[in-house]
Amino acid sequence: MNLKFRAKDYTSDDSFESAEYEYFGNEKEGWEIKRNGQPYLHLGPGYIPLKTISCGVCSTDIDRRFLPFPLPQIIGHEVLAEGLGENQGKQFVVEINDTFEARGDKDIDSFCKEGIPTHSPERRVLGIDRLPGGFGPYILAPIHAAISLEGVSPKAAVLMEPFAAALQAILASPPKPGDHVAVLGPRRLGSLILAALASYRKTNKANFRITAITRHDHLVSLSKAMGADEVVDLRNTEISNLKDQFDIVYDTTSTASGFESALQIAKREVHLKTTNGQVMAGIAHLTELVVDELSILPYSESNTMFHWQKEARKNQNVFVFSGVSGTIKENLKKQFTVFEGNSSDAESILNSEPFSKRLPRFDLVVVSNPEELNFAIRPNPNHENSLVRPRGAILVDLNNSRNWQDNSSLVANFFADGKEIHSSRCGDFHIAISLLRDNPEITHALETNLISHRFSSEQLELAYATAKDPSSVKVVVDFQ
């Protein structure tokens, strides 16, 4: 098959430029992609061509220039598409991760074997990392990432990717009975988290309260429509008056001030869902923290056992930075294989023989200051590998409070109070579709309330600019 078309690439100066693309190949033999007549990307077998119906604009799209992936690129990853060839007439939603598993490869890496295929370092990401996205008229989707749309209306389906991502936050940080949880910034993703919380509560017959926190009139009414029990308007309430009020705060603001507010008002946990690629509260690489779905926890014996609820595994290998107290090191050596040193030492260990046949990451990393914390997330500017396994934890030793000064003091106080930071990114479409089928009123709320603007593909720049405006909620670009 040969598909030739023009599309608008997103560039590093936050603008769009027209480019000519050509996809040539097939599912069994692979594909060659050319951009302006030059080789752009080679894809092996396991991809099917789809024609874009519509694609939503996400906060990630708006902040795309800050992410550590090459530009220019056709961006857009919230895709509703229809099949071509033998799939003609079928509609699909598309999971964004291009992995061994998604392509149906028989040879898989250690990340797939560990049950975390979406964290494989070799993955590409639709509309984010190399793989051309949904703001073009055609995409190439890994065969198992194209999910047939059954039981959910096309109107709600364009929201499937962000709804699944929102639901992932709830599955990673589920409210406990009697909890009072808050969604900070209930706009695009925040509204979807409200919907995910409401549907999760109903399906599981759970008992917790949901509060939305905003400062915009249109988001007050939207939050109630999407499932909030109550709304706090920050134009009438000081954030300081909400200190330690909410067991879990799901932060979707993508701002440094929002993150700092979340740290203040959380009683037990902040779940960081989206960031802007910048340093926040003295912590660098928070975007990468979310990409790897890592957690940052105060050091304690119980937290050394941390793993995601859905995973049945035990922590074995721990890396401890040099600044960590000797007492912690000795306690860890009683139950784990412990490695010590600086970030360079850690990378050398992960490249050594003991890790050659296993996941090349530590199960836990223990740090004693902000610099070590940043190195744990991204130790080397030449690659995107963390020291700790995806969905693993970084434990913070606060024995020497002098290590946490200035912009990091808020974070130090947060951990000193025994509180935690968790994160998550994309979710399972099958679980999301099932939940929406079980909760038709939530599906109706998504269809009725969330899409605030629709534009044709010729109006992509206007759609993108509108999505930046706080008065918009979800902006969708239509190709048909």
Is residue 454, in this structure, part of any structural domain at all? no
- Per the structure, the count of domains in the chain is 2
Whole-angstrom distance, CA of residue 343 vs CA of residue 379: 6
Is residue 317, in this structure, part of any structural domain at all? yes
Whole-angstrom distance, CA of residue 461 vs CA of residue 358: 45
CA atoms within 13 A on the CB side of 91: 15
Which one of 149, 166, 198 terminates a domain?
149
Whole-angstrom distance, CA of residue 199 vs CA of residue 226: 10
Q: Give tens-digit pLDDT for 381-410.
A: 988 899 999 999 999 998 876 677 655 688
Is residue 299, in this structure, part of any structural domain at all? yes
Q: Give tens-digit pLDDT for 456-476.
A: 999 999 999 999 998 888 999
Is residue 348, in this structure, part of any structural domain at all? yes
Q: Give tens-digit pLDDT for 28-85.
A: 999 999 999 999 999 999 999 999 999 999 888 998 998 889 999 999 999 999 999 8
What's this model's pTM, rounded to 2 decimal places? 0.90
Is residue 83, in this structure, part of any structural domain at all? yes
Which one of 101, 119, 149 terminates a domain?
149
Domain span including residue 22: 2-149
User: Residue 19 region, left (φ>0) first, then alpha (ψ -120 to 50), else beta?
Assistant: beta
Is residue 286, in this structure, part of any structural domain at all? no
Sign of the alpha-carbon torsion through 340, 312, 145, 168 = negative
Whole-angstrom distance, CA of residue 377 vs CA of residue 294: 8
Which one of 149, 165, 189 terminates a domain?
149
Pair type for strands 208-214 and 474-478: unpaired
Is residue 270, in this structure, part of any structural domain at all? no
Is residue 137, in this structure, part of any structural domain at all? yes
CATH number, domain of 87, equals 3.90.180.10
- The answer to whether residue 123 scores a pLDDT higher than 70 is yes
**What's the N-to-C CA distance of the chain in angstroms?**
21
∠195-468-381 over CA atoms, to 5°?
95
∠406-248-218 over CA atoms, to 5°?
95
